[in-house]
Amino acid sequence: MGKDAIKIRGLYAFIDAAYVDLSGAGDAAAGLLSGGARIVQLRAKDVAPRDILVAARAVREATERSGALFIVNDRADIAMIAGADGVHLGQDDPDVEEVRGLLGPEGIIGLSTHDVKEAVEAETLGADYISLGPIFPTRTKKDAQTPRGLTMLSEVRSAVRLPIVAIGGITRENMEEVFKAGADSVAIISGILMERDIKARVASIVSMIDRPGAY
């Protein structure tokens, strides 16, 4: 999938090992995708690389069938081996320029940011998109920073041209104000993965985002 075809918009879905047993990563991906998700990130903190790779291959197979974008969190090596579309980096991971040397010009690189300074730096370094958060208080990351709020989101939107994925405490009920503040995409994790019917939950979120004139 070339970069010209990549659109970081709408729902940014996750398969997070904190909520999903990685042995079922392929099934989880199928549920997300059948519900209408077009971007899926695999996030597996403190998991053996071999297990992450097995899960990544299963997710890659599912996203290839649907034509969706597949991103691996942190691990550029696993992204390359599994044939993912790209990798999402944190502020403490290898820098964007180093990872670009591994993935090449077609690889998608996202970078987590928390303020205007980090967002501008990400754009300067050549990231393809950024995440910004946490926007609201979140239970997904125990080490999450202080909520940034909608004002910060608007400030970052004014400072960079990169697509922005808003993350942290976002729900069906508050995502409209997040989009209006400048997000191109919203990451909803526990609000999807803790549901019994992932497909139905995703479908309800995607239908809200995609309805004519929504945001």
pLDDT in tens, 61-82: 999 999 999 999 999 999 999 9
- Which residue has 């909608």 as its token pair? 150
Percent of the chain with pLDDT over 90: 89
Give the pLDDT band (50/70/90) at residue 18.
Answer: very high
pLDDT digits (tens, 9 = 90+) for 105-156: 999 999 999 999 999 999 999 999 999 999 999 766 555 678 999 999 999 9
Q: Which two tokens stand for residue 75?
A: 């691990």
Pairing label, strands 10-16, 185-187 = parallel
Residue 145's pLDDT is what?
Answer: 76
Domains of the chain: 3-210 (3.20.20.70)
Mean pLDDT of 188-201: 95
C-beta of residue 28 within 8 angstroms of C-beta of residue 15: yes
**Which residues are marked as active site?**
43, 112, 141
Task: Assign 3-state DSSP to the chain and report helix, strand, coil percentages, each to 5.
Answer: 45, 20, 40
CB 172 within 8 A of CB 205: yes
Average per-residue pLDDT in the chain? 93
Give the pLDDT of residue 13. 98
Instruction: Supply the pTM of this predicted model.
Output: 0.94
Cα–Cα dist 42/161, whole Å: 25
